[in-house]
Amino acid sequence: MKKIYFIFAVCMLTIVSCKNDAKSSDKETEKTVASQYETFTGMFLYLESEKAAVFQAAGSNMYGVVIDDQMLALNKECKKYKTKEHDMVPVVIKGITKPNPVKDAWKEVIEIKEIVSVQKPSENQDGTIIITNNQ
């Protein structure tokens, strides 16, 4: 009878340890997938009335933004810092670029995969907006 309990206990420990390995494997896969995306720093604007979103990357690169759940979540965060509808908010995001299917628009669009940070725009004395990196 003791042998049966011992064998049962060994089987249970084996099953439990296998479940833990699967969880750690999932976390490693998540990290690998997240590191595949490009990081973008710049200014974000979503105009609800136009159903259009734009991202101005550091420098002068302009992109359209795919309107999906991630973009809507980013816009919700940005609303905290907007005083006017046309205010752009500094953000850091991870995503992928792809050709824009819309004719007569930005050449590429960004599909947001992760929101890294949303920052409050800081104004210089002459009214220009300065982007600071809080990382």
The pLDDT assigned to 59 comes to 77
- Through-space distance between the first and last CA atoms of the chain, rounded to whole angstroms: 61
May I ask the CATH class of domain 38-130? mainly beta
Burial (CB count <10 Å: 0-12, 13-18, 19+), residue 37: middle
The pLDDT assigned to 126 comes to 44
> What's the pLDDT tens digit per position in 94-131?
999 999 998 888 999 999 999 999 999 877 544 455 55
Mean pLDDT of the chain: 80
> What's the pLDDT tens digit per position in 21-33?
455 555 555 555 5
| pTM, entire model | 0.67
